Structure 1
């Protein structure tokens, strides 16, 4: 109880002392304003520096407030600019994609013109079994669009593959790089050969051709290799690729070598499906029904 009274009395004294100090400081401030007398000299060393310090603190706080407001404005403007940059980035990406698709469609249109004798339907690649080379891939057209098994599939540059399975609105295509014993021929000489692909060779970007007659017909790098007229599944004259290397076999009767595929299977997006099969063409020429049985060992 005694301690409480001492604390209360002490607080009163402190309040009184502070009040007196304030009165003295106010008085000294008045003398400092008049600039006369000894008290003004004391005020000059006490009150004036204190006032200058308070003014500096006040100016610093004001500048800090202004800088904070400016920082907030800059931050808000930066957020707006960043949002605009993000929007333009998305738009640029969309335009680049559309430009790439347009280039793909232009290539398909050229292919359509060069194979104008065959009816076709465009399709988009929607899935693949091999992410790098599209050895088998799925397109977004099927039975509802008139697609059937064994229909040939073209890319913008040449033969891409053949339809092996059909659903209502999708089809599976086996790429030429996954095919064996495809009957082909050199475009300039019509000499026949057999083209085979496998994933080991395609890692080097090539197909293999064999059983080309070793005759007087010269085969140079860049020679076009196309599907032959005796192929049982592929229509005649479809571009498979270009000769990159040729050599004479040990028997000295035949030649073999490698072909660079016309189709880039790493960038396959859109294709053309020829909506007639080799068997349909053969049946029409023979005057037999479309469902006639197919025969032959070479594709």
Structure 2
């Protein structure tokens, strides 16, 4: 006997979206028939109410939920956009604040240069910018953007802040290197402005870095007229520095072991951690016997 082949009947399935559409249509029809007409009364209308009302509530709940979520998403999008705008405003304000701080510092620096320019008005000067410095945070030597093409010469005095920064030690066509007064091999004859007493100012990078001062000695002050806070300027007996340029202020004074001279420390008139612009005095000290 040949085997009996049973044909598999295709099972009818209705896609979910069509089923939902049909149910929705039926619900709408029932709602219209039940609540908009008076054709059905009594049990039929009550039965329709049991079917339609829960379905209507479900659709209303789903619709309300979807509406709330859509509204929340809209609010979230608005909040995110506002947050991004605020971030951009904060970035702009941060940049503006940094620029204002830079402008404030540059303005203060230029005011100091203006004041020292007036205090040394007898000398012709040229402005220059610092373009390089030594590897430390202290400007014991640095390079400026003016050179021999601009008339800069070796041993020309350089001003910064409120006083003497140093002198030119080497020159190129468009640059010059400056050795500051805080360098260890720097020595300057100075004068205490209040008494005209001379002293020797010696650079000391270590004392500047640790205490912000440079050393002086060889001060003759037998009558004890010199005191802390007195202003010290370059002396007219200096061989490489023009006279009358502010060096700083005496911060401490002591008697030397020989009881004949005094020594101590001077707070420089220049902030040697922050030098950006300088003035170069465009003349040289007339040659005198080299004592420094």
Which one has a larger percent helix, Structure 1 or Structure 2?
1
TM-superposed deviation, 1:222: 0.3
Alignment correspondent of 1:272? 279
Residues 25/4 of structure 1: CA separation in 2 closer, same or farther (3 Å cut): farther
For residue 267 of structure 2, the aligned residue among 260, 269, 272 is 260
Q: Which moved more, 1:141-150 or 1:56-65?
A: 56-65
Alignment correspondent of 1:285? none
Are the aligned partners of 1:31 and 1:39 in contact in 2 as well (CA < 8 Å)? no
Tell me, in whole angstroms, the C-alpha distance in 2 between the residues paired with 1:19 and 1:207. Answer: 93
Are the aligned partners of 1:154 and 1:160 in contact in 2 as well (CA < 8 Å)? yes
Tell me, in whole angstroms, the C-alpha distance in 1 between the residues paired with 2:202 and 2:218. Answer: 11
Residues 3/151 of structure 1: CA separation in 2 closer, same or farther (3 Å cut): farther
Superposed CA deviations along residues 92-149 of structure 1, whole A, max 9, x for unmatched, are: 4323322322222121111111111111001112221144221111111111211111
* Structure 1 runs, 4 residues or longer, greater than 6 Å off: 17-24
Q: Do structure 1's residue 117 and structure 2's residue 128 form an aligned pair?
A: no
- Provide TM-score, normalisation by structure 2: 0.84
TM-superposed deviation, 1:79: 3.0
Gap runs ≥5 in structure 2: none
For residue 8 of structure 2, the aligned residue among 5, 8, 16 is 5
Q: Do structure 1's residue 56 and structure 2's residue 61 form an aligned pair?
A: yes
Alignment correspondent of 2:101? 96
Tell me, in whole angstroms, the C-alpha distance in 1 between the residues paired with 2:207 and 2:20. Answer: 97
- Provide TM-score, normalisation by structure 1: 0.82
Are the aligned partners of 2:217 and 2:262 in contact in 1 as well (CA < 8 Å)? yes
Mapping of residues 1-299 of structure 1, within 5 Å: 5-6=8-9, 8-9=10-11, 11=13, 29=31, 32-33=34-35, 36-178=41-183, 179-203=185-209, 204-278=211-285, 281-282=286-287, 295-298=289-292
Tell me, in whole angstroms, the C-alpha distance in 2 between the residues paired with 1:50 and 1:173. Answer: 91
Are the aligned partners of 1:155 and 1:270 in contact in 2 as well (CA < 8 Å)? yes
Equivalent position SS for 1:5: coil
Residues 21/146 of structure 1: CA separation in 2 closer, same or farther (3 Å cut): closer
